[in-house]
Amino acid sequence: MPASACQYTFFGTSASMGIPSIGCNCAVCTSCEKKNKRTRPAGLLEVANKKFLLDVGPDIRAQCLEHKLEDIDGLILTHTHYDHVAGIDELRAISFRKKAPIPLLASQSSINDIKSKMSYLFEPKSHRADIFSCQVIENNMQSVEFCGVNFSCIFYSQLGMPVVGYKVGDFAFVTDIKNHDKGIYESLKGVRTLVLSAIDFTPTRAHISIDEAMDIAKKSNAERLILTHIGHELEHMSTTEKLPENVELAYDGMVVTFDPKA
């Protein structure tokens, strides 16, 4: 990929239980439509000839194998809810082969949480080397350089947990958003392609609705809105027909290109 190009590949686009979910016989979970088959959250961001995993849900091993991803330059975390970090242990395979720790970008609270649950990933005595080397996003840090790439940080929360969204060029990824202040619109200024999470047309205690996502996109002047973290309440094809032209449902394997220098 040329250094001037930038793209994001959606590895997983489901809500926390995946689609189909265990024991569910609803129309979406039993559908033969490929775009209704959704794995848990993860994606690959490629920019400036660097490859970053953005979150690592419990399906990350199968996702990496499917997309033939053998190496990464870094891991970026939004927060530490299970469906976004449960696959982090799988990245040992990459670290072992590289014989070097994988750079990890996350908030201090996320790093503390991961270390408390999986301390062995950060202890040289466990593996002869750390699996990860951490770079901390301080509270209210507006931008950060990670592995030579500049990211703008977007702060909000979900169920009391701090979450960090990321903007690079004219692309922004803002998942698991529920509570935010008006400053988010300024943070999203200049974004053309905005990824937001929205499980359904109806809001839940943990997620905004599709209408609320469209309102954020409108107030941010984003030209294109892509919805992810989809629940089995939404059938891909019929939901797509109900959405405005500039609003789309993501699907596993979807690739979005954008300008990293905007």
Q: For every one of its 262 residues, what pLDDT tens digit does the chain have, with 9 covering 90 and above? A: 554 569 999 999 999 999 999 999 999 999 999 999 999 999 999 999 999 999 999 999 999 999 999 999 999 999 999 999 999 999 999 999 999 999 999 999 999 999 999 988 887 765 556 899 999 998 878 899 999 999 999 999 999 999 999 999 999 999 999 999 999 999 999 999 999 999 999 999 999 999 999 999 999 999 999 999 999 999 999 999 999 999 999 999 999 999 998 7
Mean pLDDT of the chain: 95
Distance between CA atoms of residues 38 and 82, nearest Å: 16
The pLDDT, as a whole number, for residue 126 is 58
Distance between CA atoms of residues 258 and 170, nearest Å: 7
The per-residue pLDDT for range 51-73, each reduced to its tens digit, is 999 999 999 999 999 999 999 99
Residue 135 CB burial class (10 angstroms; 0-12, 13-18, ≥19) = middle
- Residue of 27, 70, 72, 67 whose CA lies nearest to 53: 72
Residue 199 near residue 231 (C-beta atoms within 8 A): yes
pTM: 0.96
Name 182's Cβ contacts closer than 8 Å, sequence gap at least 6: none
Phi/psi-derived region of residue 99, left when phi > 0, alpha when psi is between -120 and 50, beta in every other case: left
Helices (H) and strands (E) in the chain, counts: 8, 14
The per-residue pLDDT for range 121-153, each reduced to its tens digit, is 887 765 556 899 999 998 878 899 999 999 999
So what's the architecture of 6-258 in CATH? 4-Layer Sandwich (3.60)
Task: Give the residues across from 10 on adjacent strands.
Answer: 43
Q: Where are the domains of the chain?
A: 6-258
